[in-house]
A = this chain, B = another copy of it.
C-alpha cells in the first residue's frame, strides 16, 4: 500500500461526502472518535437557536411549543434506528452509568420474581470500569454476586443455573474486541439468564439489531460515535417483553404516568418513558440530536452496513501499515475482523512506558489517539469522517515517532488528569 493507493480508495469512496458534515480542525487526524466524537457543523447553530430562541425568547412555553418535553423520546427514536430498536422503545437521558443502574435494577427485579435462586451477575474483568462499579454496588445492595470473567471464552461455561444476568460491553473499550451479540444472547437465554448490552463503543459504529438478537436490555453513550458532545446524554432501551416489569429505583417525575398532575404517589409511565428520571437536559439533548443526525445521514448511502465496511477497511489498512512499520508494537485488537470493533489497539512489545508517551508525541503532531492504562495505544476509526489516507498517514507518523525517539522527551512523559 502506498499513499497514492490510499488516496485512490478515497476518490472512489461512496461515503466520502459524509466527511463534509463535520467541523474537523485543520491539520489534525482525529482517531479518538471513540472517546469524544467530533463536532457536526450543524450543532453550533442548533445549540445557539435553543439557547437564544427557545430558551431566551420562548422561555417556559418552549416546554410545549419547542417540544422540549418529548425531546428524550424524539432523540431516542432516532437512536433506535441505529441499534435495531423500534420507535418508542428507547429514550435519551442521564449518563451511561445511571442508565446501567436502571437496567440492571430492572433485570434483578425480574430475576427476583422469576428465578430467585439465580444470584450471579456475570461480566468481564476487562469491561469498562464504570459498568463494574455500578454492578458491584447494586449487587452488594441487593444480595447478588458480581462474577468477573478473565476471557470472553470463559463466558459459556459460566452460564449455569446460578447465572442471573450477563452484562457485557459489546465492543471492549481497551481491546476493541467485539462480542457476537446474537450468539451470546442465545446462550444466556438457553441458560436462563438475562442480557444487558452496553453499546458505548458500538452505537453508530457497527450494525446492531437488538430486537433480532432478542436482547433484554441495552444502554449506550451519546458522546462517542454518536457525536453528541462532551458528556452528552446517554440512552436506554428495554425489550418490549420486559419494559413494563420495571420498578424504577430512580423514580423521578419524568418517568411518572402524569408528571403534571403533581400527585404524591408514584405511578410509572407506560413503556420506556418510565426509565426517565429528572427534567431533561435540553441543551445537551439538542446537541446530541445533531450528532445522531450526522450518523443517520449515512442511511441513503447504505447506513451502518456501509459504514462498517469502510471501518474495517480503515482498521485493516492501519493495522497492516503498523505491522509493517512499527516492530516495537503488537496488535491488541483481534485479527479476525468479525471480532473487531471500529478501533485498533496496540501495545509495546518490550517497553510499557512507551505507550503513554507515544500517544502524547502523536497528539503534538496532530494525530490524536488516546492512552488507556496500563499500556494501550488506542486509535478509533470513525468512518463517517475519516479517510483512507488518514489511516495511512497516522501509521507513518506513528512509525516516525518511534523511529526518531521523540517520544522520550520529558513533556511527553508527564501524566495529566485525564489520560
Could you tell me which A residues sit within 8 Å of B by CB distance?
23, 25, 28, 30, 32, 35-36, 38-39, 43-44, 47-48, 51-52, 54-57, 59-64, 68-70, 94-98, 101, 125, 127-130, 132-134, 136-138, 141, 148, 174, 223, 229-234, 247-254, 256, 259-266, 277-285, 287, 363, 368, 370, 372-373, 416-419
Whether the Cβ atoms of B253 and A55 lie closer than 8 Å is no
Knowing A95-B278, A231-B282, A250-B101 touch, does A133 contact B64 (C-beta < 8 A)? no
Q: Which residues of B contact A101 (CB under 8 A)?
A: 249-250
With beta carbons under 8 angstroms apart, the residue of B57, B229, B247 that contacts A25 is B57
* Chain B residues, Cβ within 8 Å of A130: 252-253, 278
Extra A-B contacts (6), CB below 8 Å, given A98-B250, A137-B249, A148-B264: A38-B56, A38-B59, A39-B52, A47-B283, A260-B418, A283-B283
Q: A225 to chain B: closest CB distance in Å?
A: 14
B363 touches A250 (CB 8 A): no
Question: Is A264 within 8 A of B129, CB to CB?
Answer: yes
Give the Cβ gap from A413 to chain B, nearest Cβ, in Å.
15
Choose among A68, A133, A254, A284 the residue with the greatest number of B CB atoms under 10 Å from its CB.
A133
CB atoms of A263 and B129 under 8 A apart: yes
Known contacts A138-B249, A279-B223, A417-B69; A262/B363 CB under 8 A = no
Question: Which residues of the other chain, B, contact A55 by a CB distance below 8 angstroms?
Answer: 36, 39, 229-230
**Are B132 and A264 in contact (CB-based, < 8 A)?**
yes
* Residues of B with C-beta under 8 A to A35: 60
Bound CA–CA A36/B58 (angstroms): 11
Q: Determine if A51 and B133 form an interchain contact, defined as CB atoms under 8 angstroms apart.
A: no
Q: How far is the CB of A99 from chain B (nearest CB, A)?
A: 9
Contacts of A52 in B (CB 8 A): 23, 39, 44
